Amino acid sequence: MLDILIIGGGPIGIACGLAAKKAGLSYLIVEKGCLANSLYNYPSTMTFFSTSEKLEIGGIPFVTISNKPVRAEALEYYRRVATSNHMPIKLFEEVTGITKEDNGYTIKTIKATYQAKNVIVSTGFYDIPVNLGIPGEDLPKVKHYYKDPNYYAMQKVVVVGSSNSAIDVALETYRKGAEVTLVIRGNEVSSRVKYWVRPDIINRIKEGSIMAYFNSSLQAIREHDVDIETPDGLITIPNDFVMAMTGYKPNFSFLKKMGIILSEDKFTPQYNPETMESNVPGIYLAGVVVGGMDTHLWFIENSRIHADMIVDDIVAKRS
Ligand SMILES: Cc1cc2nc3c(=O)[nH]c(=O)nc-3n(C[C@H](O)[C@H](O)[C@H](O)COP(=O)(O)OP(=O)(O)OC[C@H]3O[C@@H](n4cnc5c(N)ncnc54)[C@H](O)[C@@H]3O)c2cc1C
């Protein structure tokens, strides 16, 4: 029986594996996609807002030429960390259920069954988009994930949202020749947008290169146009693609199925903030999955410490 089974091979799952190894505990990481699956699926043009040392795990240096790494460098770093530490990782193996046993847990995946005394859930938040809940959202032209701007050249693109992801999409597709319209619920570009990007988008809106509707919401999407509710009333504009950059959320039903209690307002899971143990003894939460709907509060930067907190607790309970 393993000491720990870690669900999710993202940066924080890998950090948990490193901490377990250092403490001499047996562990296995089970990941449903490729290694660092979420990062792999981020936009290919993406630059982290964190400097590289803040993305380091297990004290292993992350060396980059410029201070903020790009996606490819992060993928290289986490892969090298995993391979050079000979970490036991099962890839393309989704965990489907966890059952409590007398002395631990049985963990079922699409390929096998494992036994572990403790489980760490580090499943992140990037698999399930927050839907708009409007007619036409299921049309193929509506995207919740964005890979590359060239695809949208010479197209009429509506970008919904005003977070970092939405603003990056707006600026990048505009610079590859798309006709971009931003639909923003609030009355300004989010103050959380990267400080070196925010003036760029504000100036593009001011000069009219990118159209923006503030205090507005998308109401309906059709094959060739969309309806936007604006302070001046409902308008219809021609459209080829809708980029619904409205965020993502953790898999709440997966957490509930294992007995983890979620708060009613933001679906925040119940856990001890000193040990990261959930209300289910022996099941720990690590990384951005602890945030409930407040996913913007958790990053690699501030959640990599969960690894040591959890392993320290498991070691303390053993002795
Ligand atoms: C565009 C963008 C830019 C960002 N920039 C930064 C930044 O600059 N600095 C920073 O600190 N943070 C940044 N973040 C946030 C950061 O990427 C996340 O906080 C981070 O990925 C969290 O790591 P994690 O290991 O908790 O989750 P993830 O990286 O999401 O890993 C979770 C893993 O669990 C797997 N999984 C899910 N369900 C199952 C299952 N049932 N069975 C098996 N495996 C499963 C997933 O496939 C995934 O690989 C950014 C996020 C985005 C979207």
The domain spans of the chain are 2-127+248-318, 131-244
The predicted pLDDT at position 188 comes to 94
What whole-number distance in Å separates Cα of residue 33 and Cα of residue 221? 31
Pick the CATH number of 131-244 from 3.40.50.700, 1.10.8.10, 3.30.360.10, 3.50.50.60: 3.50.50.60
Computed on alpha carbons and rounded to an integer, the radius of gyration of the chain in Å comes to 21
| Residue 90 contacts residue 29 (beta carbons within 8 Å) | yes
What whole-number distance in Å separates Cα of residue 53 and Cα of residue 68? 9
**How far does the centroid of ligand 1 lie from the alpha carbon of residue 254, in Å?**
16
The predicted pLDDT at position 284 comes to 98
Domains 2-127+248-318 and 131-244 share a fold: yes
* Residue nearest atom 12 of ligand 1, based on CA coordinates: 299
* Residue nearest atom 29 of ligand 1, based on CA coordinates: 10
Residues of the chain with pLDDT under 50: none
Residue with tokens 């209300």: 279
The predicted pLDDT at position 295 comes to 87
What whole-number distance in Å separates Cα of residue 314 and Cα of residue 20? 9
The predicted pLDDT at position 318 comes to 86
**How far does the centroid of ligand 1 lie from the alpha carbon of residue 157, in Å?**
27
Beta bridge partners of 116: 2, 105
* Residue nearest atom 3 of ligand 1, based on CA coordinates: 48
Please give the helix or strand (H or E) that residue 248 lies within, else none.
strand 248-249
Beta bridge partners of 6: 29, 120
**How far does the centroid of ligand 1 lie from the alpha carbon of residue 41, in Å?**
10
From the CA of 126, give the closest atom in ligand 1.
30
**How far does the centroid of ligand 1 lie from the alpha carbon of residue 36, in Å?**
7
Q: Which of 57, 123, 125, 249 to mutate to test the pocket of ligand 1 (most atoms within 8 A of CB)?
A: 123
The predicted pLDDT at position 10 comes to 98
Angle (deg, nearest 10), helices 11-22 and 71-84: 30
Structure tokens at 219: 């109401």
258 within ligand 1 shell (Cβ under 6 A): no
188 within ligand 1 shell (Cβ under 6 A): no
Please give the helix or strand (H or E) that residue 218 lies within, else none.
strand 217-221
71-102 pLDDT, tens digit each: 999 999 999 999 999 999 999 999 999 999 98
Prediction pTM value: 0.94
Q: Which of 6, 32, 75 to mutate to test the pocket of ligand 1 (most atoms within 8 A of CB)?
A: 32
**How far does the centroid of ligand 1 lie from the alpha carbon of residue 219, in Å?**
30
Topology classification of domain 2-127+248-318: FAD/NAD(P)-binding domain (3.50.50)
15-24 pLDDT, tens digit each: 999 999 999 9
* Residue nearest atom 41 of ligand 1, based on CA coordinates: 95
Cα separations in angstroms, 139 against 202, 223, 238 = 30, 8, 15
CB atoms within 10 A of CB 193: 22
Angle (deg, nearest 10), helices 198-207 and 164-175: 50
Among 95, 39, 114, which Cα is nearest to 287's?
39
| Residue 295 contacts residue 266 (beta carbons within 8 Å) | no
**How far does the centroid of ligand 1 lie from the alpha carbon of residue 263, in Å?**
22
* Residue nearest atom 51 of ligand 1, based on CA coordinates: 299
The predicted pLDDT at position 222 comes to 98
Structure tokens at 254: 């997966």
105 within ligand 1 shell (Cβ under 6 A): no
| Residue 303 contacts residue 8 (beta carbons within 8 Å) | no
